[in-house]
Amino acid sequence: MRLGAVRRSTFFLLSVFLIGVCPAFAAGPADAEQPVRLSADVRAETVTAMQTVEVWLTADVAGGWHINSHRPAMEYLIPTDVRVTAPEGFTVSEVAYPAGVRKVLSFDESPLDLYEGRTVFKWKVHIADVGAGVHRMTAALRYQACDDEKCLPPAEARLDIPLTVAPLPQAHPSPQLDYGLARGLRIPNPPEESVGGNAIAHLMQEKGVFLALLLIFWGGVALNLTPCVYPMIPITVAFFGGRGPSRRPVTDAVAYFLGLVLVFSALGTVAGLTGGFFGAALQNPPVLIALSLLMLYLSAGMFGWVGFGLPASWAQRVSGGSAPLGAFGMGATMGVVAAPCIGPFVVALLAYVGSRQSPALGFLLFSVLSAGLGLPYLLLGLFSERIPALPKLGAWMDVVKWCFGFVLLGLAVYFCAPLIPDAAERALFGLTLLAACGTAAWVCVKRARRWPRLWAGLSAIGLAVVGASFFLTAPREDAAGEFWLPYDAASFDAARAAGRPVALDFSAEWCLPCKLMDRTTYADPRVRAALEQAVRLKVDLTLYDAPEAQEARERFGISGVPTLIYFDTAGVERIRWVGEFSAEALLSELGGHGS
């Protein structure tokens, strides 16, 4: 046995002997009580049934003392261990232990793995359909505290952690996302618009599985009324209409539909099971760059610069240039583009899938939802396939393709906008507009046989110059102005402590509905007057996994954007809306809560 090991063993056995036989030798002023204090924090503003929350257990070790880490450097040392017991209906995950601090103590030259100062242990608790009220779980921390000279006996500190489960919120009569008001149309809202996963559970129990799936399907169809799907329309038309006649139009359209459904379902299932952020792929720079390059490729196809389809060697293997494999890949890409389509129905599905923790069930539900979302694009693909085959299209078909080409150029700029400076974004949009109007002017002048057409061409040139000048030189105007302040936890806590109402707007640069609401809903003078007394904080989730964004998402339980949360003067969450809504809808809800 090495000398170091003998010294460590001797030190450990001697400490235990002195503590057990002669406490006076080991006792000191700091030992009158254990040097470890426990506290806990439930990382959620409100806790409801069918929700998963994170709990932090903080162990504060007194100065001059330490405890061993969960995986100590020496086998004979007692590890620090946390055990959590919870009542029925509460499922506790494994405890996440922090890394220890490597430190050399005076009695040995080998470094030990220790916890000093403040140490936080974390775990998640899933709450089933339990009743409202106070429920208690218990955390037990087993450890051995030592200083540089001696060790105390192994001890166990226990802490009761109360969990106050609030009643599930009632569905709001005005829209948590009112598709009718938001779009200016009078159509039925999706059923059971609630942000809680319990809405889907009740739907299954009360309506039966078949009818519930049918309603989920129509909820997917209703997602087509949200702005997040707007980019998918020209992309679908350009992909199918720009390739020329296909030998298998139905097969290609179905492959496109299946690609969209499978990817959208997979993203939704993963987000539901893990509690992740739905639509987070659009904050990933490689994804944004790939989408921008794809838009450029499709645009080049519209201008006739490149041909659609797979390479010839691939095409021979899959029996034709318009193989379903390419359509499937394009549909899968659109599944990523459609992921930000978030609304109360999607949030309900995410919560329900998270509560059941069943990948098969989650994939089934999101497949039905995405089938409803993708149905119009299946029909659009079938129609677009037939455009090149229509008789007597004439030269105007080239003009139509060019129009789609410029729209796709604009989408390329849109997808890469979060990655480039504002000035570059304005310049690219301005140049795209200049090129589009210049092309229109060239067509009009080239085909001019009468003065009106010539004047039309000259007018297009003038419009191009004016529009491009606006994009290139005008400073970006935030329609929301200085209405929102950047979020930080300190500002939120200070407003709550001061008894002021707080409005939180969760948005992202890649969120099209967020930008539209900044220019419409939040720019409405009536909305500004209604929220004038509230502290208005905008939470930027463009980079959703940044530390600040992740803390805000976990603290407030955010599944997607746009989301608006309103707290009253007592600090109680009164309103939670997911998805786009109109100024009238917001004013109606604020009036109902006395704001």
DSSP 541-594: -SSTTSHHHHHHHHHHT--SSSEEEEE-TTS-EEEEEES---HHHHHHHHHHTT
In this structure, is residue 436 part of a structural domain?
A: no
251-255, 370-374, 454-458: the lowest-pLDDT one: 454-458
Q: What tokens were used for 561?
A: 């954007």
Instruction: Report the pLDDT value the prediction gives residue 339, as an integer from 0 to 100.
Output: 63
Can you tell me the distance from the alpha carbon of 333 to that of 263, in angstroms, rounded to the nearest whole number? Answer: 8
Query: Does 186 lie in the same domain as 146?
Result: no
With cut-offs at 50, 70 and 90, classify the pLDDT of residue 29.
very low
With cut-offs at 50, 70 and 90, classify the pLDDT of residue 64.
confident
CATH number for the domain spanning 53: value is 2.60.40.1250
In this structure, is residue 19 part of a structural domain?
A: yes
Instruction: Report the pLDDT value the prediction gives residue 395, as an integer from 0 to 100.
Output: 54
173-177, 473-477, 565-569: the lowest-pLDDT one: 173-177
Query: Does 263 lie in the same domain as 398?
Result: yes
Higher pLDDT, 375 or 12: 375
What predicted TM-score, i.e. pTM, was given to this entire model? 0.47
In this structure, is residue 461 part of a structural domain?
A: no
Of 134, 166, 198, which residue is a domain's last?
Answer: 166
In this structure, is residue 435 part of a structural domain?
A: no
Q: 487-546 pLDDT, tens per residue?
A: 988 888 888 888 899 999 998 877 767 877 888 889 889 999 999 889 999 998 877 677
Query: Does 99 lie in the same domain as 196?
Result: no
Query: Does 344 lie in the same domain as 201?
Result: yes
Per-residue DSSP letter, 151: B
Query: Does 184 lie in the same domain as 143?
Result: no
In this structure, is residue 466 part of a structural domain?
A: no
In this structure, is residue 98 part of a structural domain?
A: yes
CA 367 to chain centre: 19
Query: Does 202 lie in the same domain as 102?
Result: no
Of 353, 339, 362, the C-alpha closest to 52 is 353
Query: Does 403 lie in the same domain as 335?
Result: yes
Of 403, 419, 435, which residue is a domain's last?
Answer: 419
Higher pLDDT, 255 or 341: 255
Q: How far is CA 77 from CA 102, 113, 432, 534, in A?
A: 14, 10, 68, 54
Q: How many domains does the chain have?
A: 3
Query: Does 285 lie in the same domain as 184?
Result: yes
In this structure, is residue 457 part of a structural domain?
A: no
Residue with tokens 């006996």: 153
In this structure, is residue 322 part of a structural domain?
A: yes
Range of the domain at 578: 485-592
Task: Read off the pLDDT of each residue in 558-575 and give the average, rounded to a whole number.
Answer: 83
Percent of the residues in the chain that have a pLDDT greater than 70, as a whole number: 63
Q: What is the mean pLDDT of the chain?
A: 72
CATH number for the domain spanning 522: value is 3.40.30.10
Which residue type is seen at 369?
A: L
With cut-offs at 50, 70 and 90, classify the pLDDT of residue 177.
very low
Q: 193-218 pLDDT, tens per residue?
A: 333 344 566 666 666 777 878 888 88
Mean pLDDT comparison of 163-167, 303-307, 431-435, highest-scoring range: 163-167
Query: Does 261 lie in the same domain as 156?
Result: no
Mean pLDDT comparison of 10-14, 145-149, 200-204, highest-scoring range: 145-149
Q: What tokens were used for 113?
A: 């793995």
Query: Does 134 lie in the same domain as 201?
Result: no
Task: Read off the pLDDT of each residue in 329-346 and give the average, rounded to a whole number.
Answer: 69
Of 166, 198, 229, which residue is a domain's last?
Answer: 166
Query: Does 294 lie in the same domain as 264?
Result: yes
Can you tell me the distance from the alpha carbon of 458 to that of 411, in angstroms, rounded to the nearest whole number? Answer: 27
Query: Does 162 lie in the same domain as 193?
Result: no
Higher pLDDT, 250 or 93: 93
Phi then psi dihedrals of residue 53, to 5 deg: -125, 160
With cut-offs at 50, 70 and 90, classify the pLDDT of residue 427.
confident
